Amino acid sequence: MTATALAEDVGLTVAPCHRRLRELENSGVIRGYRVDVDPVKVGLGFEALVFVTLRDRSTMKDFEQEVGRIGQIIDAQRLFGEPDFLLRVMAADLPAYQRFYDDVLVVLPGVEKLTSTIVMKNLKSGGRLPI
């Protein structure tokens, strides 16, 4: 949405709308802007959710840092209970995912157990906060 359209929607003129947007950006409320890329059209049509259990907590920081560096892991959450983490992984296809699993995921620091679930269909993605 353009700033002009946003200003119209909220009942402001463009200048105050821009000023409020800058304030929200500077305060960190607005963290950034994103482009919505179709993964299939860029060769990443395979998606897996990977549940990770670590052997112990001593490697947790190293695990988290390493996950942050890996581009094919597009989302990562630390969970309460077991498993310890949920990773969202994109790949070209099943063989590419298998190579990633064998070469990258199993050697992450402290990994005890990996369980993968293949995503059949995305019903909703890129959701917005309910504000």
pLDDT-above-70 percentage for the chain: 100
- The dihedral over CA atoms of 21, 25, 30, 35, expressed in degrees to the nearest 10, equals 90
pTM above 0.95, yes or no: no
Neighbouring CB atoms inside 10 A of 39's CB total: 16
111-114 long-range contacts (CB < 8 A, ≥24 apart) are 111/52, 111/53, 111/54, 111/55, 111/63, 112/53, 112/54, 112/55, 113/52, 113/53, 113/83, 114/50, 114/51, 114/52, 114/53
Determine the pLDDT at residue 2: 85
Mean pLDDT, rounded, of the chain: 93
Of residues 103 and 131, more confidently modeled:
103
CATH number of 40-118: 3.30.70.920
The least confident of 29-33, 91-95, 123-127 is: 123-127
Structural domain boundaries in the chain: 1-33, 40-118
